[in-house]
């Protein structure tokens, strides 16, 4: 077995480690606008979004896991024995050693800290490999680590690409003791093959083709507002976005018109403009992928409700990778556009007649990340939510996060859960000690 390289960081008293993690959060908050500017420059996301979600969550991830590790109890059982002497079982938590963290470009700081914070809280050293598209905030974070007094060698950043580069080197390295990865499902499959010879634990948060189910008894304003966020936030580049929307037939026409109106009133503009709530896609290559699905939808027989092309401004924004927010109807459930993750500001809306039909359509996917249910009937909300074959279901809300809850997906959407104690358990090796009393 590989010797664990736990080092002084892993041996530091938990309270001292937790205090340092709070200092990292202080450092992110102290340089809030540097982090926001870096995230906006790398991704093109609206400054309002980076200020509201990405950077605050970067800091919150450190605070939440600092407090959690300090307050986490240990598992213990008193075990009966045939001779009535009994035994005490208790479990101690140790760091895995060196954890490799590989992250995507859509929420760079949020997703990197979502993994680095609990890994460091558990006493591991980390080597992070941010996406080649978005290297800046991982590097800024290294400065915040240094300012907070994190010893050298605990938080390490390697920049590079995936296959045949930093990503693959990290996953195949014999001195890396665990890999946590967020990204595309097929990248997860490639990483699984690479880690196999060295038998490392893996945690995978992968793609999605998430469904929303809207019942006729929903609060119409809340549901259309919520779905507009769920479809178009971050230009649809959130793994949790709803790309399949199922609407009860009674309100189908009205709902499609209301969502169309929301799409057409989004403010597409300069990422630095506070009013912008629709930025460009991440890259020319990704825009080509999204546009290829826009074309495919029409070939597959879709009715275009709105959008379907490139946004034109007549100024320098035309060098950005903007696309129109897009809504389709009329596709069969077997269409590729209904089955495959597009990862853009686009959804297909289909009608349903019964609860059973809606549940069956929502679950008819190889993915299993997230779902949202919109209804005023709370019993139905519970009933339908419990039938969703996903890791996360929201009722009358979307992307409302409590960092103590399990996060992850079923099927092609991932392996394992992170969040709260689930993170602490992944980033630790548990040693159960059984003592005969
Ligand atoms: P990606 O899989 O292309 O890349 C993610 C990271 O993996 C990058 O750092 C990349 O360099 C690295 N990588 C690529 N190939 C690799 C290899 N063979 N070995 C090691 N590393 C490799 O994903 P992306 O395009 O950056 O992000 C978009 C995808 O991420 C979407 O599918 C989205 O659904 C998914 N995602 C999932 C979640 C979640 O929590 N489930 C969150 C965000 C994004
Ligand atoms: O909120 C989170 O913790 C999380 N991991 C979000 C992932 C979003 C996907 O793009």
- Residue 205 annotated to the active site: yes
Binned at pLDDT 50, 70 and 90, residue 6 comes out as low
Closest to 216 measured CA to CA, from 273, 255, 257, 169 = 255
Is there an atom of ligand 2 within 6 Å of 117 CB?
no
Sign of CA dihedral 33, 37, 39, 44: positive
- Tell me the average pLDDT across 244-269: 98
106 lines ligand 1 (CB under 6 A): yes
Residue from 39, 122, 168, 205 carrying the catalytic annotation: 205
Quick one: pLDDT at residue 197? 94
In this predicted structure, what is the pLDDT of residue 25? Answer: 98
Average pLDDT over residues 21-50: 98
**pLDDT exceeds cutoff 70 at 182:** yes
- Tens-place pLDDT, residues 345-363: 999 999 999 999 999 999 9
SS3 107: coil
pLDDT of residue 270: 97
Q: What pLDDT is attached to residue 383?
A: 98
Residue found under tokens 């403009």: 273
Give the whole-number percent of the chain exceeding pLDDT 90. 98
CA dist list (Å): 282 to 104, 278, 322: 11, 12, 9
DSSP state of 319: G
Q: Which of 54, 105, 110 to mutate to test ligand 2, by most ligand atoms within 8 A of the CB atom?
A: 110
- Provide the percentage of residues in the chain whose pLDDT is more than 70: 99
Tell me if 190 CB under 6 Å of ligand 1.
yes
Q: Given this model, what pLDDT does residue 4 score? A: 56
Taking the centre of ligand 2 as the mean of its atom positions, its distance from the CA of residue 10, in whole angstroms, is 27
Q: Distance, CA 233 to ligand 1 centroid (Å)? A: 18
CA-closest residue to ligand 2 atom 5: 111
- Atom 37, ligand 1: residue with shortest CA distance: 206
- Provide the b/e sequence for 191-203 (b: ≥16 CB within 10 Å): beebbeeeebbbb
Listed in sequence order, the DSSP H helices in 197-330 are 220-232, 249-264, 284-299
**Ligand 2, atom 6: nearest CA belongs to which residue?**
111
Q: In this structure, which ligand is nearest to the CA of 135?
A: 1
pLDDT at 7: 75
In terms of phi and psi (left: phi > 0; alpha: psi -120 to 50; beta: otherwise), the region of 332 is beta
* pLDDT tens sequence across 55-78: 999 999 999 999 999 999 989 999
Strand order in the sheet with 202-205: 155-157, 125-129, 98-102, 178-182, 202-205, 414-415
Check if 313 has its Cβ closer than 6 Å to any atom of ligand 1: no
The tens digit of pLDDT for each residue in 290-320 reads: 999 999 999 999 999 999 999 999 999 999 9
Ligand 2 centroid to 408 CA: how many Å? Answer: 9
pLDDT at residue 122, rounded to an integer:
98
| Averaged pLDDT, 382-408 | 98
Using the predicted structure, report yes or no on whether residue 134 has a pLDDT greater than 60.
yes
Q: How many CB atoms lie within 10 A of CB 163?
A: 10
Question: Is the pLDDT at 1 greater than 70, yes or no?
Answer: no
pTM of this structure: 0.97
The stretch 34-44 carries a mean pLDDT of 98
């Amino acid at each position: 077995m590989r010797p664990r390289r736990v080092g002084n960081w892993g041996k530091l008293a938990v309270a001292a480690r937790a205090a340092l993690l709070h200092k990292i959060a202080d450092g992110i908050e102290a340089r809030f606008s540097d982090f926001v500017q870096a995230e906006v420059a790398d991704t093109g996301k609206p400054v309002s979004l980076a200020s509201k979600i990405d950077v605050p969550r970067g800091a919150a991830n450190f605070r939440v896991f600092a407090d959690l590790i300090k307050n986490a109890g240990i598992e213990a059982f008193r075990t009966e024995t045939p001779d009535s002497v009994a035994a005490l079982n208790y479990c101690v938590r140790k760091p895995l050693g060196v954890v490799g963290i590989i992250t995507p470009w859509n929420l760079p700081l949020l997703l990197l800290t979502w993994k680095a914070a609990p890994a460091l809280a558990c006493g591991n050293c980390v080597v992070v490999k941010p996406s080649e598209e978005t290297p800046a905030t991982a590097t800024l974070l290294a400065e915040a680590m240094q300012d907070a007094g994190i010893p050298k060698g605990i938080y390490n950043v390697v920049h590079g690409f995936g296959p045949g580069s930093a990503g693959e080197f990290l996953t195949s390295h014999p001195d890396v003791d665990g890999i946590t990865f967020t990204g595309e499902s097929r990248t997860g499959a490639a990483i699984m093959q690479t880690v196999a010879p060295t038998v490392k634990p893996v945690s995978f948060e992968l793609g999605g083709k998430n469904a929303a189910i809207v019942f006729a008894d929903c609060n119409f304003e809340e549901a259309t507002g919520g779905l507009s966020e769920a479809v178009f936030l971050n230009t649809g580049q959130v793994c949790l976005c709803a790309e399949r929307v199922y609407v009860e037939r009674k309100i189908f026409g009205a709902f499609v018109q209301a969502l169309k109106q929301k799409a057409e009133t989004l403010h597409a503009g300069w990422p630095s403009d506070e009013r912008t709530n629709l930025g460009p896609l991440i890259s020319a290559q990704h825009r080509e992928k999204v546009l290829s699905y826009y074309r495919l939808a029409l070939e597959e027989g879709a009715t275009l409700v709105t959008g379907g092309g490139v946004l034109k401004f007549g100024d320098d924004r035309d060098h950005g990778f903007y696309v129109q927010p897009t809504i389709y109807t009329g596709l069969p459930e077997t269409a590729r556009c209904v089955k495959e993750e597009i990862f853009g500001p686009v959804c297909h809306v289909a009608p349903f007649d019964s609860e059973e039909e809606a549940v069956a359509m929502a679950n008819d996917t190889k993915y299993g990340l997230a779902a949202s249910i919109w209804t005023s009937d709370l019993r139905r909300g519970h009933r339908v939510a419990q039938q969703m074959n996903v890791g996360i279901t929201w009722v009358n809300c979307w992307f409302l996060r409590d960092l103590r809850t399990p996060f992850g997906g079923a099927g092609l959407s991932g392996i394992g859960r992170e969040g709260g104690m689930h993170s602490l358990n992944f980033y630790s090796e548990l040693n159960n000690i059984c003592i005969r009393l």
